[in-house]
Structure 1
Amino acid sequence: MKAFVLRSYGSPDVLELTEIDTPVPADDEVLVRVRATSVQPYDWHLMRGEPYIARLMGNGLGLRTPKFGVLGADLAGQVEAVGRNVTAFRPGDEVFGMPKRGGFAEYACVREGELAPKPKNLSFEQAAAVPLAALTALLGLRDAGRVRPGQRVLVNGASGGVGTFAVQLAKAFGAEVTAVCGTRNVELVRSLGADEVVDYTAEDFTRNGRRHDLVLDIAGSRPGSAYRRVLTRTGTCAVVGGPGGRWLQPVGHVLSALAVSAFVPQRTVLVDVVRSTENKRNLLTLTELVEDGRLTPVIDRRYPFEEIPAAVGYQERGHASGKVVVTV
């Protein structure tokens, strides 16, 4: 099969299109014929091996060379074969999921617990845009943020992959949503249901006097101390990430935000979808919302499989409004 293989850290040019053996599913795995995948910051952080501190944190990065041969954390496709202990799927089923790696290939082995039936009203490309980004938004709002109907939620970084899902999910949970984004994305974010949109190029949302019960910090554009000004006394800041850096960021931003919370009544919590053990259950929750029309993936650009390096490069530049998907 064809796959983009990562043999050394670096720019998107290090992703090498080559022929490798088709994987064989283990007892608890499903072999998926990948029809579409998507690109996100998780992929290019692994590709570059950055921040360097992450190589020392036991998260799967090798110290000098990558441990992940094939990147691609999302996929949608058709079941080709199943391991002997798999009971939920059979060949021909249309599925989507978050294997964390392996999506940049024609076939991928995925654990049964990381897959769910593809939403009936989505194409493969649309379904591949959902898993990691929407799961992150779901965990940030529902689990880490403990959002409740009637609460005021602020989404900082509302126009990216996670943000576009977060705005819709917060509305689906009955919250009043303030979305922060740049000028060119104001109308897009408003169309997703945001009650108020703040253009960060024209207004500092941390100094406008408004208070929120929950801040979902995706962009990481303000220090942790600044969020105290926009939270209620018992509010929560759920941190997804922050701006990238070679040595420490976004780890430094996350750690500093968590450190501030030790001395104030507001909560600061980290959203970590990669370590979640409830992916299948949460994918089924997302499927219900998608099929009910309350959640729709926003796709910025589509690329053919052969142009995965270009897709990764575009996403890494940080200008995507919604998701970047690849047809395999």
Structure 2
Amino acid sequence: MDKIKSMMRAVQYSKYGGGVADLKHVEVPVPSPKKDEVLIKVETASINPIDWKLQDGVARPFLPRKFPHIPGTDVAGEVVQVGSDVQSFKVGENVVAVLGNGGALAEYAVANEGSTVSRPPEVSAREAAALPIAGLAAHQSLTQLAGLKLDGTGPEVNVLVTAASGGVGQYAVQLLKLANAHVTATCGARNIDLVRSLGADEVLDYRTPDGVALKSPSGRKYDVIIHCAHNIPWSTFEANLTSKGKVVDTTPGFGTLMSVAFKKITFAKKQLIPLFTSPKKENLEFLVKLVKEGKLKPVIDSVHPLSKAEEAWAKSIDGHATGKILVEP
């Protein structure tokens, strides 16, 4: 193992609303792990929409906690130092982690022991880094919010996944095939074959009339809709749901929250449920195990060097990536 450097390369921003132009390449001290943390030499990090939404101010003034801020929550790499209370990991182990306070776009990052998972040799650093936030969002949407069982023991359900070629959608489609689901999916025309290969039974081009209307080609109503896109009115969902159908909104905005409040007031049977991802170690371990067993395959859109992190940032903001966008020091 290489000696830990005292300084590292990183990308940071200094204010809300600065966009790509405010990303700066800097040299900063390598962070020191607290007693319950590990220091990871980053092999691969991934960018999620929440990263640039935090920069835009979606959680202002609570997050980021301070400026300048090194963004990014998903990392895979090697443990190079452990805190005094850490029991689960040793120096030299390969891991994947969710960073509570950002820090992924750098050569080193600190992660809490409780949000770090071992990475087996069958799972590459790129596959591992592509998993955490997007994979956990899909897992939580299906299991906790939609109430589906991923062991195939539940009843057959009809599920729609919008934006199925994106970061969360690609995992939702694959996990649904473990849940005894008939999957209808929407995506752009160029990704129809990919989404079908992930396990979707029916695929709609979201630009066609049926795609806009979310109509299943087989005429099915949906028990669950995993909504990973934007700007689809509730009336479109409602027309396609079963009498007690649920819509899980993985990117809830103010409009979603207002709709949820209204539906509770009116005691509507059809539900709109916002997702606020809560990373859990056991769920990340489950996803890593599925990748190891070949039951889940992260789709990777592109890999960018840290020196060109702005390109990755801009690509995520553009919103048309197929799968995950990765960055490597």
The alignment's TM-score, normalised by the length of structure 2, stands at 0.89
Per-residue CA deviation, residues 165-205 of structure 1 (Å, 9 max, x unaligned), is 11001112221111111111111101101011111111234
Q: More deviation in 127-136 or 141-150?
A: 141-150
Matched with 2:107 is 106
Query: Of 16, 25, 48, which residue of structure 2 is paired with 1:17?
Result: 25
More moved, 263-272 vs 153-162? 263-272
Task: State the Cα distance separating 1:39 from its structure 2 match.
Answer: 1.1
* Correspondence for 1:95: 95
1:39 alignment partner in structure 2: 47
How many aligned residue pairs are there?
309
Counterpart of 1:55 in structure 2 is: 60
The match for 1:223 is 233
How far 1:118 moved relative to its partner? 1.4
CA distance in 2, matches of 1:261, 1:184: 36
User: 1:67 deviation in Å?
Assistant: 4.5
Residues 153-176 of structure 1, C-alpha deviations (whole Å, 9 max, x = no match): 111110101111110011122211
Cα 1:61/1:226, change in 2 over 3 Å? farther
Corresponding residue number in structure 1 for 2:123:
122
Deviation at 1:260, TM superposition (A): 4.5
Q: Do the aligned partners of 1:225 and 1:260 also contact (CA within 8 Å) in 2? A: no
Q: For residue 20 of structure 1, give the secondary structure of its aligned residue in structure 2.
A: strand
1:103 CA drift (Å): 0.3
Per-residue deviation at 1:266? 1.7
CA contact (8 A) 1:43 1:71 kept: yes
SS in 2 for 1:126: helix
Q: Secondary structure at the match of 2:177?
A: helix
When the two chains are superposed, the root-mean-square deviation of aligned CA atoms in Å is 1.7
Which of 257, 260, 263 matches 1:258?
260
Distance 1:207 1:171 in 2: 20
Offset at residue 252 of structure 1 (A): 2.0
CA contact (8 A) 1:223 1:257 kept: no
CA deviation profile, 1:228-256 (whole Å, cap 9, x unmatched): 11211112111111xxxxxxxx5223213
Gaps of 5+ in 1: 242-249
Supply the distance in 1 between the matched residues of 2:244 and 2:308 (Cα, whole angstroms): 47
Match of 2:247 among 221, 237, 246: 237
Does structure 2 conserve the Cα–Cα contact (< 8 Å) formed by 1:32 and 1:80? yes
Give the letter for the 1:107 counterpart: Y
How do residues 68-79 of structure 1 correspond to structure 2 at under 5 angstroms? 69-79=69-79
The amino acid across from 2:54 in the alignment is L
TM (norm. structure 1) is 0.89
Within 5 Å, give how 1:1-328 maps onto structure 2: 1-9=8-16, 10-49=18-57, 51=58, 54-55=59-60, 58=62, 60-61=63-64, 67=67, 69-100=69-100, 101-148=102-149, 149=154, 150-202=156-208, 203=210, 204-207=212-215, 210-241=220-251, 251-262=253-264, 263=266, 264-273=268-277, 276=278, 279-328=280-329
SS at match of 2:10: strand
